[in-house]
Structures are given as C-alpha cells and as structure tokens.
A and B are shown apart, each in its own frame.
Chain A
C-alpha cells in the first residue's frame, strides 16, 4: 500500500536531473505557493505541479496525498469562515458562543479559506513530486560534505528500516513457532504478547548497531577527513531547467514587488481582472516552471533531444 509513495526508479527524464536542479524546482513550487496569495497564481501553480506529476507518472500517488489532506483543507476553510470577522459580505450571522462572541460567516472569509486550501494542496503536491523524482540518497549526498554525521545518521536510519521490518517478521514467526498465538487471548494478553516482540526487536537492533559501529570503525570511519566521490553529473538538461526556474523566480519577484501576486480579500474581495502585464507575468512564471515537465514529455517522444541534452 505504501509502495507508491516511495521513490521508484522509472528511468524518467525528471528522475535523471541533477539533485540541485530537481530540488530547485521543488523549492520554487514551495516558496512561490507561500509567497503568492492571488487565486490565479495559486491555481496556476497547482496546474503546473499537476503537469509535472503527470510527467512523473505520479497522479495515482497524488490521489493518496489528496485524500489525506482533504480533511485539513476542509478544516482550514471552516476555521477561517468562523473566526475571521474582517469580511463585509455576511452570508450567515452565525452562532453566539461564550468567549468568542458572535461568529458571522462572510463570503470573503470563505474565499480566503478556500485559497489557503489551494496553497496547502500546492505545498503537499510539491512534496509528492519530491518523493517521486528525487532519490533520498541523492538528496542527502548533496549535504554529505557539510553535514556528514547527520547525513550518515539519516541514511543509516532509512536503510535500516526495511531490515528492521524483516527482523520484526522473523521474531514474530519465531514466537509463533514457540506456540504464541497473537490472535488469542484478551486485549491485555495480546498487548503483552506484542510488547514482548517490540522489546526483542529493540534489543536485537541495538546489539546489531554496536556491531555496525565496529564495522564502521574497522573501515576507518572517523580516522581522518572524509573522502568522497560524486556520481551526479551536471548536464545541459539541468542548465535548461535551472534557467527556466530562474526566469520564473525573477518574474515572480518582479510581480510581487509590483503587488500583482497578492490579492485583497478584506474587507471586500478585490477585482480578479488583472492588467495585461500581470497576465503576461503569470504566463511567464508558469511557463518557466513547466520547462522540466515539458522536456520530460519531449524526451519521451524525441530520442534525439534526449541524446542531445
């Protein structure tokens, strides 16, 4: 069930990017979602993220994220609608509550809540994309020069995870062979049986960890400065993607500075009709961010392009 959330090597163009390029893409999605408050910009970003997800073949995984985050979005809309009193178009006078007073529900507050819901969806979808296109090890290898101990800890933990899962199964089977039936007994008895498994798992894992440390020491870990080698190469495709993302970031800063990416919600909703230049800016931002997804599509159908970049 959890398999679809985990990174899988599919040989995609997006997965072949240098981690710097793919991380810049994710960070751009994330930061721009936090910076813009205009519904057009946020919805546009959602479209581009979905386009990238489609290119990465991750729409099925995204549905899982959507289900998990939907209740949070509803909650955000609800709290904003009830608590926010800055709006002027009152739809419902709301209940009278002690401590809070009257809670009027306004159209502005609902629209604000809905836009914030889109912002959350953007951020979550960006992370979904991260899970699909960036291999955890390649991500951490970026930091291995500056934070070698921390990176080692995290890499070891993610590596140990499947190993511990196998150990857990082994302990359970050994217990079953000894006649422990996990489905029998009262709730208390069953809890105690599982507690015994957990303690055994912890004890054996920690014993293994000491051996692991000895193995590390035997391989001269910590005996001097760390040597390293890089397998990630920086190719023209990374430069093209970074150029697109950079362009859209520059235009975003420009449009934020001109006040085009923000939107007035209170006391009354502002006009959604933007000037010509704001539409052009929006188009450039979205186009720049969709460069990796478009190249992914191009490389799929045009081997020459894939070979060239």
Chain B
C-alpha cells in the first residue's frame, strides 16, 4: 500500500479537478470547496504516512513537545500583528529532524494553538502551510548541505511570504470573484504588509534564537536516535585473542550447571 500512496494522491487530486470541469451547470463545484478539498486530501495523506512510519515513543513525545512549545510561543505573542514564532521553530525542527517530523510539528502547532486562539476555516490551511514549511526545511538541507547562517535566514525570510501566499489562496478561492491574476495580486497586495512583518520576524527570531535552538535540537536528536553500529572487523593480529575470548566464554557457558 505504501508504494501506491503517491500515485493514489495524485489520482484523487486530478479526479477532483476533472469532476469540477465535467459537472453540469446546475451543481457547480465551487473553487472554494475544491481548494479546501485538495488541501484536506494532502493533509490526510501526510498524516497517513506518519501513521505507517515506524515512529518511536521518543519521537512522538518530542514532536508533541515541539508542537506545544511553538503553540505556546504563538499564543503568547498573539497580540503582535503577524509576528509568528511558529514558522521559525517549525523550520528549525524540520531542518534538524527531517521532513516527516517537520511536517508533524508544523501541523500540530497550528492545530493545538487554534484550540486557544480559535479554530476556523483557516485551520487546515495553516496546518498545511506550516507543515510544508517544516518539511521543506529538510529538503532545503538536503539540497544545500552546508548552508551558512545568512542563507538559512534568507530561507526563513522567503517562508514569511510563502506562508502568506498559501493563506491568500484560501481567501482568494473562497471569497473573491472572478478568479483572475489581477484579483489574486489585489488579495496579495492587501496582505503584503503582514507578510513582510512575518518574514522579518522570522529572520529576527532566527538570528536571535537560531544558533541556540539548533544546538538544543541536535542534542535531543542524538539522544533519541538509535543507531546500530556495524560489526567491526578485527585486525588479523588480534584474531587469536578474539578466538581465545570466544572459547573462554563458550566454554564457561557450556560449563554452567543445567
């Protein structure tokens, strides 16, 4: 089943799009429903992937704690206009722990913080956008392995606008008519000020906290990872010692009373 996940996902999305084209004039599947449907399907598939992954209790609790810390930071700074510490924290988590953990931290932070700030039609979109921010950070690390501090700061900056862009798609498809590039630009123009604040605050948080947080996360990563060392080849000169050791242990076990 795992092999078919990606093709199945694309099949459903294409099916949704095809359905919207072919339905009759009376029952028209609106873009607002369609866009929400596609985002919903994406989230369900990503969660399904997490369900099937061999994730340890340690990873589960670390994801939960990171999500809760991000949610706490978001709620405590909720009074400031669009200063979102979540984006910074989620990107750093994805960067250190990998794409799956990054997605889970982002979407959990969105869902958990909205229980305190208010759930709304924006919740799935925020889960999707923040999850994507976390996952993309892991891919960014794979693509640019030795990224310096300023390159990462630029990545954080870009996500301020990308997040706004994803949220604008929601506003645009659900409430604006006609859906043209002009109307999208107009929607974006109204949010530009907030997005800029978001992007700048990401860079600010990254430059202030980034180094320390990455160090802490790396330390935790070391602690939760179980790595199996390969059996080391024993040099030829030491072979007899090993043989001796083996015979001793074997014989001592053999000699045990039964």
Contacts and interface: CB of A to CB of B under 8 A. Distances in A.
Interface of A: 2, 5-6, 30-31, 34-35, 37, 64-65, 68, 72, 75-76, 78-80, 82-84, 86, 99-100, 112-113, 116-117, 119-120, 123-124, 127-128, 130-131, 136, 147-150, 152-154, 156-158, 160-161, 164-165, 168, 191-192, 195, 198-199, 201-203, 205-206, 208-210, 212-214, 216-217, 221-222, 256-259, 262, 265
Contact of A130 (B61, B108, B119, B187): B119
Interface string B142-182: 00000000000000000000000000000100111110101
Interface in B102-131: 104, 108-109, 111-112, 115-121, 123
Interface in B204-257: 208-209, 212-213, 216-217, 220, 223-224
Interface residues of B, number: 65
Contacts of A153: 60, 63-64, 67, 104, 108
Nearest to B224: A210
Nearest to B120: A127
A92 B183 CA distance: 19
Contact of B171 (A31, A72, A208, A262): A72
Contact of B62 (A86, A149, A168, A206): A206
Nearest to A82: B186
B119 A201 contact: no
Interface stretch (B5-13, B14-22, B26-34): B26-34
Interface in B60-97: 60-69, 71-73, 75-76
Contacts of A165: 72
Contacts of A79: 176, 183, 186-187, 190
Contacts of B139: none
Contact of A100 (B55, B62, B69, B182): B182
Contacts of B104: 150, 153
A158 B51 contact: no
B176 A83 contact: yes
Contacts of A158: 68, 112, 115
B72 A161 contact: yes
B71 A216 contact: no
A117 B62 CA distance: 40
Nearest to B26: A259
B175 A210 contact: no
Contact of A123 (B75, B112, B120): B120
Contacts of B64: 152-154, 156-157, 160, 209
Contact of A205 (B69, B119, B176, B178): B69
B51 A199 contact: no
A164 B223 CA distance: 21
A196 to B, nearest CB: 9
Contacts of B216: 199, 202-203, 206
A283 to B, nearest CB: 22
B212 A199 contact: yes
Q: Which of A68, A78, A131 has the most CB of B within 10 A?
A: A131
A164 B208 contact: no
Nearest to B64: A156
A205 B65 contact: yes
Given A116-B176, A212-B61, 5 more contacts: A68-B118, A76-B176, A116-B174, A165-B72, A203-B216
A258 B27 CA distance: 9
B21 to A, nearest CB: 18
B220 to A, nearest CB: 5
B33 A34 contact: yes
B140 interface: no
Contact of B112 (A64, A148, A157, A208): A157
Contacts of A72: 171
A120 B175 contact: yes
A248 B102 CA distance: 41
Contacts of B60: 149, 152-153, 156, 213, 216
A195 B183 contact: no
B182 A164 contact: no
Nearest to B55: A149
Given A120-B175, A160-B64, A83 B115 contact: no
Nearest to A72: B171
A164 B72 contact: yes
B108 A84 contact: no
